[in-house]
Structure 1
């Protein structure tokens, strides 16, 4: 039986285990993928703690497999699937977990992996990079405008800086001093995080900020909002909708389409987006991979590799 890394109930590390599971079977509109790599994201451990995505309903079935994004090779095709065949190299968002030897992908959020794109890099695109892409496109700023990204040192933030640059924007990234080199290596202007953020941003962007992509929420979001003359150019993936709406902004609207994945793959292949995979772990050390992200020690993206 194939293996998967799961949590057996809501709680902490004590709920996690590497177990044998039944091999999933694809339903209509789904493909079964032999996983080659799985991305690790903060939402993974948050879901173990009981977090539910906005709009998510129903009760979770346990054991629940960790993970939201994978790359791999198609092994089986469900009904009503066109454009995919057994043996295709693909990547996408999972139906129910990706820290596993096999995972199901809905074809609406799956894409063919270009040969020039590694399995490791492909596995990082459907969550953090896609969230970054959706947010930057939602702002829809004209070329040459300046976008401020808070929480710029994380997975979504670092991707947002690069995507903004690829779309012709000037990027300013707020991050800790320890991530200054990372932010600047992405072609962005670094602003140290901390209290009284607005004056530091104005010092490096005297012509003003065209839009804010917030990934922190709270006081950071509120202070960043004061930098805008048009609050419709304030979006967040780091705060609940009511928190940003009272400031005149909005949550990031996720597209969750194959077209976004295709666009991201081309950005990586062209060298305009580097997912910054800094460390990989085998499936039997998935817990270590998750701890690295959960404890805030990750610099760049963490990926779980599954033996082919």
Structure 2
């Protein structure tokens, strides 16, 4: 039987286990993928704690497989799927987990992997890069404008900085002092995180900023909002909707479609976006991969290599 890394109930790391599961069967509009690589994201461990994403209801069944993005090779296709065939190399979002030897993907959020794109890089795109792309596009800033990205050293933040630069924006990235060299290597002006953030940003952007893409929430979001002349140019993927709406901003609106996946893949192939995969783990060490992200020390992207 195929293996998967799961959580057996809501809680901490003690709920996690590598188990054998039934091989899934694709339903209408779904494809079954033999997973090559799975991306690791903060939302993975947050879901284990009982966190609900906007629009979700608490209907999870256990054991629940971790993971929301994978790359791999199509094994089966469900009814009504067009344009995808068995043997195709693809990447996309999962129906119910991706830290597994097999995963189901909705065909509408699955894209063909370009030959020039590695399975490793492809697996990082459906959550982090696509979220970054959606948020930067939502801001709608003209070329030459300045955008502030909080949490710029993480998977979404580092992608947002690069995508903003590809669109001709000046970027200021907030991250810990330990990530200074990394953030600057992306082409952003680094500002250390911590108290009095707004003052440090004004030291490098005296007139404030034209847009903010927040990936942290809380006090960081509140301080960043004071740097804007137009509160509507505040987008967050790091805070609940009520928290950002009271500041005049909005949650990132996810497009969740093949077109966005194709767009971010083209950016990687064109050399404008580097997913910066910094560590890889095998499936039997998925817990270590998750701890690396959960502890907040990850730089760039962490992935799980399921098969060669």
Q: Which runs of 5+ in 1 are unaligned?
A: none
Q: Distance in 2 between matches of 1:177 and 1:165?
A: 22
For normalisation by structure 2, the TM-score amounts to: 0.98
1:68-87 aligned within 5 A: 68-87=68-87
CA contact (8 A) 2:37 2:70 kept: yes
Asked if 1:196 corresponds to 2:172, the answer is no
Residues 108-159 of structure 1: CA deviation (Å, up to 9, x unaligned): 1110000110001000001111111000000000000000011111111111
SS at 1:148 equivalent: strand
Alignment partner, residue 221 of structure 1: 221
Residues 85-110 of structure 1: CA deviation (Å, up to 9, x unaligned): 00000000000000000000001111
Following superposition, the deviation at residue 198 of structure 1 comes to 1.5
Alignment partner, residue 18 of structure 1: 18
Alignment partner, residue 164 of structure 1: 164
Alignment partner, residue 211 of structure 2: 211
Q: Distance in 1 between matches of 2:124 and 2:296?
A: 17
Alignment partner, residue 273 of structure 1: 273
Asked if 1:264 corresponds to 2:264, the answer is yes
1:109-124 aligned within 5 A: 109-124=109-124
CA contact (8 A) 2:117 2:269 kept: yes
* CA RMSD in angstroms, aligned pairs only: 0.9
1:15-164 aligned within 5 A: 15-164=15-164
1:236-251 aligned within 5 A: 236-251=236-251
CA contact (8 A) 2:52 2:58 kept: no
Aligned length: 308
Q: Distance in 2 between matches of 1:220 and 1:307?
A: 39
SS at 2:75 equivalent: strand
1:268-307 aligned within 5 A: 268-307=268-307
Following superposition, the deviation at residue 208 of structure 1 comes to 3.3
SS at 1:28 equivalent: coil
Q: Which runs of 5+ in 2 are unaligned?
A: none
Following superposition, the deviation at residue 297 of structure 1 comes to 2.7
Q: Distance in 1 between matches of 2:157 and 2:298?
A: 14
After the TM superposition, list the runs of 4 or more consecutive aligned residues in structure 1 that deviate by more than 2 angstroms.
Answer: none
Q: Distance in 2 between matches of 1:219 and 1:21?
A: 42
SS at 2:35 equivalent: strand
Q: Distance in 1 between matches of 2:4 and 2:237?
A: 29
